[in-house]
Amino acid sequence: MATPTASSAPLIEKHTIGYVPPEDRHGKVRDLFTLWFGGNIAPLPIVTGALGVQLFHLNLLWGIVAILVGHLVGGVLMALHSAQGPQMGIPQMIQSRAQFGSLGALLVVLIAGVMYIGFFASNIVLAGKSLHGVVDSVPVPVGIVIGAVGSGIIGIIGYRFIHVLNRIGTWVLGIGIVVGFGYIFTHIQTDDFLTRGSFNLSGWLATVSLAALWQIAFAPYVSDYSRYLPADVKVSSTFWTTYLGSALGSSLAFIFGAVAVLATPVGMDTMDAVKLATGSIGPLMLVLFLLSVISHNALNLYGAVLSLITLVQTFAYRWIPTAKSRAVISIIVLLACCFAAVGASKDFIGHFVDMVLVLLVVLVPWTAINLIDFYAIHKGQYDIQSIFQVDGGIYGHYNPQALLAYAIGIAVQIPFMNTPLYVGPVSAHINGADLSWLVGLLVTSPLYFWLANRDTSYRRRMMGGKLASSL
């Protein structure tokens, strides 16, 4: 059967967490570049990038180096997840059942859902601030609600509309941020633009970690936006279009934030600094960023809703979620986030950094296990039917090996972590530098590879080759 073109695919997405059959596949691999480039030029990455000079006191040069290193390294992991989409044809979170078991995956799915709800709430705060910056008469809480509703409409319409908006956004925002850079560099308002801050190892590593986490944080849902592509799309093509789009777009946004705060007096809120640094074009930049955050935030709502549907469907296994179900859950999440965001908006940066640093610890072991399982253990060959069975099919309710590797992957990070909740002894010894994410990757990956290979051999013997025939 011929694969439909994007223009013939329905505007309102009908699928939720189910397998996308070949006849419903559509789109071009280049759409992944525009999705991740346009989606990353937004207020939240701008605010995050500014932390390298605001919070960690790096100068411009070392801030840029840290940003680039973090995105280039983290982007590899993110893009490897994206390349799974066309081959699997299912959302990333429900695929985790193949690594952790139908019930074992619940912890990871819950963490992903909470993470994207947190990102959604954070983004609508920035939408509210951006709208208030453009129109002073609009209070921030009202702007928050407007931003949430806009993202909700996009998320409910779904996959195809998200891609369309980001194709447009890539051109508009790409040109806009280049013009913004040009204006700032020709209208610098401070004498210490190049000399404010200095190199310090802990701040540099912290900025690298923030940039790497920004990429890794997409891992639980990045393949959701490639799963509609035809199954014969090359893995390398999916990888490179995703990698280049995400690494380039997010690096530009992070650096823009750092440049804006250095070009303005110390102590300004990042988005206020952007408005001041861009002078006469500031209102236009804020309008572009407002539209961007509304569009980009639809991804967080979409990912959160798919995670929640996966959680519910694990127990209500006879339930077949539809587009209507996705819409209802989207509205519930949207309303809850509006209440939370209005209350947290006054201390947004503090809450956001706290969340990011905690997520760093729990997300890295999952990404290591998923990638090792997909590329080294199963080599992309899974039994899709088993993934949707109530008993987990050949993957069972639990995979003790994955859960053990995951727990150890979290535990080994504790001495190296630096979060508001706890500072590990190693981190304290090296002036607060956070190396936990790197340790988590280096320990979890080989550990899971060893455990999974051991377990596969055992199950092949015990099941008379049943597992081997399904791989």
In a domain, 405, yes or no: no
In a domain, 457, yes or no: no
Distance CA(266)–CA(273), nearest Å, equals 9
Number of domains in the chain: 1
DSSP three-state, residue 423: strand
End-to-end CA distance of the chain: 26
Measured N-to-C along each axis, helices 348-371 and 106-134 cross at an angle, to the nearest 10 degrees, of 140
Residue 27 falls in which region: left (phi positive, over 0), alpha (psi -120 to 50) or beta? left
Whether residue 459 has pLDDT greater than 80:
no
Q: Residue 41 sits in a domain of what CATH number?
A: 1.10.4160.10
Whether residue 433 has pLDDT greater than 80:
no
Q: How confident is the model at residue 463 (pLDDT cuts 50, 70, 90)?
A: very low
Whether residue 4 has pLDDT greater than 60:
no
In a domain, 390, yes or no: no
Q: What domain range is 233 assigned to?
A: 24-347
Distance CA(416)–CA(143), nearest Å, equals 39
Q: What is the pTM of this model?
A: 0.86
In a domain, 84, yes or no: yes
In a domain, 191, yes or no: yes
Whether residue 119 has pLDDT greater than 90:
no
In a domain, 466, yes or no: no
pLDDT digits (tens, 9 = 90+) for 296-318: 888 888 888 888 888 888 887 77
**Degrees, nearest 5: CA angle 36-41-46:** 130
In a domain, 354, yes or no: no
Distance CA(445)–CA(425), nearest Å, equals 24
Q: Residue 151 CB: number of other CB atoms within 10 A?
A: 27
**Residue 343's beta-bridge partner residues?**
none
Q: How confident is the model at residue 408 (pLDDT cuts 50, 70, 90)?
A: very high
In a domain, 416, yes or no: no
pLDDT digits (tens, 9 = 90+) for 316-348: 777 778 888 888 898 998 898 888 777 765 665
Whether residue 465 has pLDDT greater than 60:
no
Measured N-to-C along each axis, helices 348-371 and 400-411 cross at an angle, to the nearest 10 degrees, of 140
Q: Find the range with the poorest average confidence among 140-154, 239-253, 449-463.
A: 449-463
pLDDT for 2 equals 47
Whether residue 369 has pLDDT greater than 90:
yes
Task: Report CA-CA distances (Å) from 223 to 80, 81, 92, 279, 289.
Answer: 9, 6, 6, 39, 25
Looking at per-residue pLDDT, the higher value among 18 and 199 belongs to 199
